[in-house]
Structure 1
């Protein structure tokens, strides 16, 4: 029955029942954490053989004749640049492979823009105002970088096709708007893939600011969960057609392919952008960890091996996503108090609860022993104007714990909704 259609008496009876069930959950003393989208221990074990591929008797000279133990090769090893080029839809010559963190590369790119600027423009940090577009719900760590540098964050609503491009096209008429964060495939947290039209409209943008940049974080470019993988049109190719190659800067990593703490990250851009970024990096480092890059080349020599590796990941995490959706449908379906996405890939399920209830749901779960991503985290400044969006991260807990967590989550959604409806 739709809770929004219940009488006050029916809601009170339902509340009493839910409170009794909730008290029983609290008494169990659970300690479960679903706050971040981390690979599980089983997923990390998939890459353990990689650690045996490099030892004191290994060939440690790259294909270009460089000793990987030494300084140099600032753009990264060529085989890995080629692999990331295939993953990201660029040419190897437009790729830089660095350390283990793509977020680090994004931060450094923003830092470069703040201190030295792009396109011969005054550095962002010396301009009167800097605004950044933030598709929301979106990735909290993207927003945190912009906020750290003192930018004004502007929320752009997400749709199943991607960000609301009518708004994006309107906002970029303001010369203070300097960029936009994008997770174009299996977006965080909704799992949406940008439509072809959205990608083409990004490539055709005519920003008032010559130093406007699209931060294209293709974190889930090979992270499919079903037999119906979604395809993403190449922004690079579309920009080349439009003569707008300087607009995007691309990012990806192997964090959720091999090891999050010891993977490899890559960025891609036009030659003009890379010239600025290489200069920036030349003061920061004399070269990346090439031994780790070499280890990855041995373990993932081509895209076929990447696909094999991702199939193993899928076998572990797809049942977890299925469990989340099963619980949501079983416990919340038809009650008018929640809606959710059913992604074909990525690392999250996005749940929208009754307006004004997300913080209460997260609080109820925490009090009963399950830690979720904080309510509001998926919006700029951590403020969800509707207080309704919750990011569910199924990958890390063992499935037995996930089942318990989802039972409690659904119970908390119901209880928070009934409490809210009784306040009206």
Structure 2
């Protein structure tokens, strides 16, 4: 731990000296003419290279059953690929549907179909409800929130804790208000906090009474296999827990290979109860005669089995774990002891969650941009981009090369310290 006095403990003269020193550091940072982008959690080229054998696959045009993958049909996806992901996600093969390259598309299809038609347990389509609301743990995933906003669904927030969303806060929202129709959850290595939903919290979420009979948990397990350490978190078996609680239709599970193989040319997965799966395929069948089975077959050949996926993810870890370590080192060296920032130490996933001094996140992002370091806009991890405390910043270190991460994070630390000094000086003045 770096030994420094907290900024709040400094005298006005000491704070002025600190601010002057940081302004000089910042001027040096600007003079470097950097052009670094940490706005989105994308795989790096080195990670994408790990899957280039896909470009030479598949070696056949027929799946295991003998069906020609170049033709129509097979709405639920190839059996051999469904088997792989059933094992990886701890679900039954019969519960799995494999789709195209984007799990976000599957989420949009599920919610849109609920809006247009209602689903198992619905009294009416959601479009006929006076109001529809979703519970959103925060900080959370901006694309989840954007999807809801696009459909006119209201968002109510609950705190995201280390063991998942605050179940008491969720229970209070869902128990009395039938307008609360669902919630988002990234259960394993959550975006951006890195939180892992415990089995105890998952059990409460699937068993708690809800005023809406068709309440859905959108269980987006995007990072279930994206470990950064040897201690690999295991996702709660939410479908089994829900069935045991008498609410089998409550969760709908999603995943994809977007950060396993090719982000733009992978496969996606939905897993759900028998009723939810049949309902989903019924509506999907009006929009599709089958997925890209050629791509599904090449993935099944490339992986071989579930252990093939795990082995590939260990190679990903070798590339990105040093970048996460570099983030931690740079923030500790630049901010340790100042008591103006806290950041996560994720054991998996794609992000580091940075909380800065209240009221300074927007300023930090602005300072970084002016120094050539692009960060995700402040507030992005909150509905409508509004962080009421203006303190949260999501850091995405996977795409740049390691030296670029080291440079960018040292620069971010300078910006955080300078913004904090400005704020404390203004508050004191």
Normalising by structure 2, we get a TM-score of: 0.97
Q: Secondary structure, in 3 states, of the residue corresponding to 2:134?
A: strand
Q: Distance in 1 between matches of 2:374 and 2:172?
A: 39
CA deviation after TM superposition for structure 1 residue 205, in Å: 2.0
Q: Which residue of 2 aligns with 1:285?
A: 288
- For residue 220 of structure 2, the aligned residue among 213, 217, 221 is 217
Does the CA contact (< 8 Å) of 1:89 and 1:236 recur in 2?
no
- For residue 41 of structure 2, the aligned residue among 24, 32, 37 is 37
Structure 2 residue runs of 5 or longer lacking an equivalent are none
CA deviation after TM superposition for structure 1 residue 120, in Å: 4.1
CA deviation after TM superposition for structure 1 residue 94, in Å: 0.9
Does the CA contact (< 8 Å) of 2:335 and 2:413 recur in 1?
yes
Structure 1 residue runs of 5 or longer lacking an equivalent are none
CA deviation after TM superposition for structure 1 residue 271, in Å: 1.2
Q: Distance in 1 between matches of 2:415 and 2:122?
A: 53
Q: Secondary structure, in 3 states, of the residue corresponding to 1:278?
A: helix
1:406-417 to 2 correspondences below 5 Å: 406-417=409-420
Q: Which residue of 2 aligns with 1:80?
A: 81
Pair 1:7-2:8 in alignment: no
Does the CA contact (< 8 Å) of 1:250 and 1:267 recur in 2?
yes
Q: Distance in 2 between matches of 1:103 and 1:391?
A: 20
Q: Distance in 1 between matches of 2:57 and 2:67?
A: 19
Pair 1:250-2:269 in alignment: no
Q: Distance in 2 between matches of 1:346 and 1:51?
A: 26
Q: Which residue of 2 aligns with 1:180?
A: 183
CA deviation after TM superposition for structure 1 residue 27, in Å: 1.4
Q: Distance in 1 between matches of 2:279 and 2:46?
A: 40
Pair 1:66-2:50 in alignment: no
* 1:210-243 C-alpha deviation (Å, 9 max, x unpaired): 1110000000111100011222221111112112
Pair 1:23-2:27 in alignment: yes
Does the CA contact (< 8 Å) of 1:204 and 1:239 recur in 2?
yes
Pair 1:260-2:263 in alignment: yes
Does the CA contact (< 8 Å) of 2:136 and 2:156 recur in 1?
yes
Q: Distance in 1 between matches of 2:239 and 2:415?
A: 44
The number of residue pairs the alignment matches comes to 421
* 1:74-119 C-alpha deviation (Å, 9 max, x unpaired): 0000011111111222111111101000001001111001100112
Runs (4+) of structure 1 exceeding 3 A deviation are: none
Normalising by structure 1, we get a TM-score of: 0.98
Q: Distance in 2 between matches of 1:304 and 1:151?
A: 40
